[in-house]
Amino acid sequence: MSYLQTLEDQSIYIFREAFANFKNMAMPWSMGKDSNTLIWLAKKAFAGKIPFPLVHIDTTYEFPEMLSFREWARKYYDIDLIVIINEEARKRGVGYETHDPVTVTHELKSVALQQSLAKYKWDALVTGIRRDEDSTRAKERYFSPRTADNEWEYRDQPPEFWGQFTTAVKPGEHVRVQPLLDWTELDVWEYIRREGIPVPKMYFAQNGRRYRSLGCWPITKSVESRVDTIEGIIEELKSTKTAERAGRAQDYHERNAMQKLRAKGFL
């Protein structure tokens, strides 16, 4: 059996375990390659019908191409999509024009997510994070509990072995369910190629530049590339040593920025 097949089967197992154990789950969906891979895996796990809502946290700094993709995918996959915006923070004037990226990301993503957790009372959130993305994510569990304050107690994580996960939560707490934890960036692209999963066009070069990772437009830089096929992306990845999120400014603004963001609830 191929290794990609092993990864797919494991992700499906995780999806089904989550759905069987939690009463009210949702899946944040950023429209990126990992997010679209997750949709694909969920379709397979649940025989074509995703039985929980998807959530897009709209920072209001989304690329227009991505919003266009969002509306396209809503119809294409027949998904129940909830769009949330931290209107309160925007009214206070929180934005990249005036605030540093860590603050903006925290307010417009993490706080927005926390607001909707309070509103919808989700007990599990499916995320697309992978261990290879950065060193804090490498320490994650497949089922990773978050406190009522949406915090990650990374110092004291529950054990997890033999396909047995943490499925009990107290009121107000939730569990992050992470089916892609064992995948690498290369695995994701290989799988997208194997399955023919539709992805945003922004990943492919236009005028000599493309996006390797997609976030808010003021802090997401394109990289120099002529790659306009999946095969090209895979080849490029095999030869590069530049970190995937190198184009994401908030990770680099200060030392341990990612750690701080994630402890406070960032995906």
Exposed, middle or buried, 64 (CB in 10 Å: 0-12/13-18/19+)? exposed
| 4 contributes a contact to another protein by CB under 8 A | yes
Burial call 8-27: b when 16+ CB within 10 Å, e when fewer: bebbbebbebbbebbeebbb
Of the candidates 103, 115, 223, 264, which one interacts with another protein according to CB under 8 A?
103
What is the contact mask toward another protein in residues 188 to 207, using x (rule: CB under 8 A)? Answer: --xxxxxxxxxxxx-xx---
CB-wise, 55 or 249, nearer to another protein? Answer: 249
Residue list 142-171, contact with another protein (CB under 8 A): 145, 154-155, 157-164, 166, 168-170
Instruction: Tell me the angle at which helices 64-77 and 33-45 cross, rounded to the nearest 10 degrees.
Output: 10
| 264 contributes a contact to another protein by CB under 8 A | no
Report in angstroms how near the CB of residue 149 gets to another protein at its nearest: 17
| 239 contributes a contact to another protein by CB under 8 A | no
The half-sphere exposure of 188 on its side-chain side, counting CA atoms within 13 A, is 28
> CA 106, CA 265: separation in Å to the nearest integer?
8
The closest of 61, 66, 115 to 86, measured between CA atoms, is 115
Residue list 51-80, contact with another protein (CB under 8 A): 51, 63-66, 68-69, 72-73, 76
| 87 contributes a contact to another protein by CB under 8 A | no
| 131 contributes a contact to another protein by CB under 8 A | yes
Of the candidates 123, 132, 236, 251, which one interacts with another protein according to CB under 8 A?
132
Residue list 111-130, contact with another protein (CB under 8 A): none
Which residue in this structure is represented by tokens 């406070």? 264
Number of residues that bind another protein (CB under 8 A): 94
Report in angstroms how near the CB of residue 54 gets to another protein at its nearest: 16
Report in angstroms how near the CB of residue 48 gets to another protein at its nearest: 5
Cα Rg, the chain, nearest whole Å = 18
SS3 state of residue 83: strand
> CA 29, CA 267: separation in Å to the nearest integer?
11
Residue list 10-49, contact with another protein (CB under 8 A): 10, 12-13, 16-17, 19-21, 23, 43-49
Count CB neighbours of 119 within 10 A.
10
